[in-house]
Amino acid sequence: MSTRTLPLLFINLGGEMLYILDQRLRAQNIPADKAKKVMNDIITTMFNKKFLEELFKPQELYSKKALRTVFDRLAHASIMRLNQASMDKLYDLMTMAFKYQVLLCPRPKDILLVSFNHMDAIKDFVKDTPSILSQVDETYQQLIEMYTPLSNGEFQLIRQTLLIFFQDMHIRVSIFLKDKVQNSNGRFVLPTNGPVPRGTQIPGLIRIFSCSGEELTRLQFNNGGNYSSKTVVCLQVNSAPNPLAKEELNLLARLMGGLEVQKPGSTDTGFRVNLFATDEEEEEALISRPNELSYGVISIQATKDQQANAELTKIMGEFTESGDPSSSASSKGDDLLAMMDGL
Amino acid sequence: MFHKEKSIQLKNSASALYNNLSVLRIAPRRLTYFTVVHANVVNMVSTSWDGLNYSHRQLQSKEPNVATSTSLIMQAAFCALPSRDLLVVSSQKGIQMYESDGSIMVYWHALDTPEAPTAHAVFARGISAVSDNYICVGVSSGAVLVFDIPSKGSNITLSEVLEEHKEAITDIASECSGSQECLANLVTADDGGNMCVWKSGEEFQLLNKIPGLDITCSSVKLWKGTVLAGYGTGQIRLYEAVTGILHAEVNAHARWIYSLDIAPFSGLLLSAAEDSFVRVWHLAITPETNSVEIAHLHNECVTDTQICGAKFCDGDGYAFAVTGYDLSEIIRYVQS
């Protein structure tokens, strides 16, 4: 469908991943310098110039497997090591979080505001490192240039493309269940109250006009909900981490299981990160996000992509421990992955 | 006024696409067909009126060459012509036409897709039977393809390309087939809310353009010379087709409208939106006196669901069916 969806998908999922990792690193008392290095390394990889150049080209969305592979590589672009279960849980959380945001956007264009919020948070993570910050800034500019001119109709197409990508994902996330933003069947709660989006009137009014344009009749009807017209503006405020966040991360951590340390490389000492050892830790990972992006519990059902994807098999086949990019990468995902491996 | 009936289970869930439900009533065989789009698959269910028999079929969008890439389907709709019924499926790659039971594909029209993807997506969306022998399908470029349909067989031809819209077509609607005579019998709508009103024929004639306000018109219907349009702001507007005069404006929904349907024999109007609500209205239109009345009759809330399709199951509006994003069932309602 929309050929401009991939950058938004990647940046927003990446942003969610960084929130969670950041919280986890702090909750695990990873030494500040190591934690910062992890964040910087991942963000540097995420905003690599050539990588983004490829990403921003008009193209269809990747398959679920291909995108998951991209994030696997991204999560391992530093000295931090995650085991399979942790990576699974991390990815589940990231995708359900973004699915929720996409689904509940009052207007399709609000997806751009969500993206800007993620970008702001990323900028904050690297604010002390000018070289990476300038990369992020450049990408921010690209986002603005590419997406601000789009109409609401074109954004709705982007949103519909994203919703097809997230279709049938109903993984239950405990913090979301607890906050009653997700039902026990894994579906998000869609309120029939609250403010109507900018540009929309509260349902209830019927107006009949004469041929000359004057209003003849006004009728009211019951809209069955409880709407208000107070406009909600997505503020770009970086809120301080919520102490309760710790609790949530613990939960996630418990669900995700501990991390196994891999044999450290010859020079850099890798370190073990219990990504989400307890439920509380899981919740913490989610609560610590800025308020305007807060969401309730999201049920995620890990989808199993049954189709043998020839392109993906090829990508997977090119993974080696040494991570050398294949020079004969031909399918679209290969180029990106090759670049990531080569960084 | 309406109560919920037993739902029809689907093989997979509905995608978030405009007008994502089509219904065909086959009275002689006491059957009703439903189609719902899921990504690159059309789910077809055939139900017997006694509620005892259900059969399912899935159609995939045709991939002429590439085995691995997906071609997402934008819409699947039944087109009922006097001589035959066809199922039309519009996707990113082109337009397929099947016999109404989905058994045989009778026609395939490929869209001009560029070698490498461009910033503007290419797809077909907006499907309607027009008059006695035409089917019109919209394209993302704004073009409307007019296909000439013979009373039987597969000798379907592209008869005309209407190029008035500059933005992607969202929906197409018509009225007056068979013996009725109408001044205007086709309306086409686009992403900017602009609408064109046409009269069909060997050469389609543009009768009127109703400008949009940069707000997507996602669903449109034509009834008694009146355009019924549903918008992304949740409004429904009623325009006189040939003059463009605005007769009524309804603040109908709190979110983007995804589907409108009219029961032509009773004047019942159905609207459904992302706000989880389906609403039933009554329209009274007297073309002679230019009077239009619209009254709200009923609400149904499909909890925690963004509705993407809503259609009456019969011309009187005795029953209607609803689909929602991520929902693997067709919910049905019947008048009490």
Q: How far apart are CA A29 and CA A271, in angstroms?
A: 12
Per-block average pLDDT, block size 10, for chain A (343 residues)? 93 94 88 91 92 91 90 88 90 94 94 95 92 93 94 95 95 90 94 92 95 92 88 42 42 39 40 58 57 37 32 40 35 50 50
Evaluate if residue B13 carries a pLDDT over 90: yes
Q: What is the mean pLDDT of residues B237-266?
A: 96
Assign residue B131 the CATH number of its domain: 2.130.10.10
Looking at CA atoms only, how far is residue B223 from chain A in angstroms? 17
Q: Does a structural domain hold residue A231?
A: no
Residues from chain B contacting residue A59 (CB–CB below 8 Å): 117
Whether A164 maps to a domain, the answer reads yes
The reply to whether A196 falls in a domain is no
How many contacts, defined by CB atoms under 8 Å, are there between A and B?
A: 159
Mean pLDDT over all residues of chain B?
Answer: 92
Is A252 part of a structural domain of the chain?
yes
Contact at 8 Å (CB) between A250 and A282? yes
> Given an 8 Å threshold on Cβ–Cβ distance, is A199 in contact with B215?
yes
CB contact under 8 A, B192 and A151: yes
H or E stretch including B73?
strand B73-80
Which tokens in the block code for residue A90?
């991390």
More confident position, A248 or B74: B74
How many separate domains does chain A show? 1
Tell me whether A32 touches chain B (CB under 8 Å). Answer: no
Asked if residue A227 lies in contact with residue B260, where contact means CB atoms within 8 angstroms, the answer is no
Q: Which residues of chain B have a CB within 8 Å of the CB of A95?
A: none
- Taking only the tens place, the pLDDT of each residue in B256-312 is 999 999 999 999 999 999 999 999 999 999 878 878 999 999 999 999 999 999 999
Interval B104-131: pLDDT, tens: 999 999 998 888 888 889 999 999 999 9
| Band of pLDDT at residue B147, cut at 50, 70 and 90 | very high
pLDDT confidence of residue B178? 56
In the predicted model, is pLDDT for residue B38 greater than 90? yes
Q: What is the ipTM of this complex?
A: 0.94
CB of A208 within 8 Å of a chain B CB? The answer is: yes
Between B236 and A286, residue with greater pLDDT: B236
Say yes or no to pLDDT of B161 above 70. yes
| DSSP string for residues in B132-200 | TTEEEEEETTS-EEEEE--SSSS--EEEEEE---SS-EEEEEE---TT---S--EEEEETTS-EEEEE-
* pLDDT tens digits along B40-60: 999 999 999 988 889 999 998
Cα end-to-end distance, chain B, whole Å? 5
Judged by CB atoms closer than 8 Å, whether chains meet at A206 and B294 is answered as: yes
For the cut 80, the answer to whether the pLDDT of residue B187 exceeds it is: yes
Q: Does residue A131 form part of some domain?
A: yes
Mean pLDDT along residues B193-199: 96
In this prediction, residue A277 carries a pLDDT of 57
State which residues form the domain around B156: 2-112+120-335
Rounded to two decimals, what is the model's pTM?
0.84
Give residues 132 to 161 of B whose Cβ lies within 8 Å of A. Answer: none
Number of domains in chain B: 1
User: What percent of chain B clears pLDDT 70, i.e. is strictly above it?
Assistant: 96
Closest chain A residue to B247, measured at CA? A209
Pairing of strands A226-228, A193-195: parallel
Residue A140 lies in a domain: yes
Mean pLDDT confidence for B298-327: 96
Is residue A61 situated within a structural domain? yes
* Tokens, residue A42: 């991942």
Residue A89's domain spans which residues? 5-191+243-261+269-317
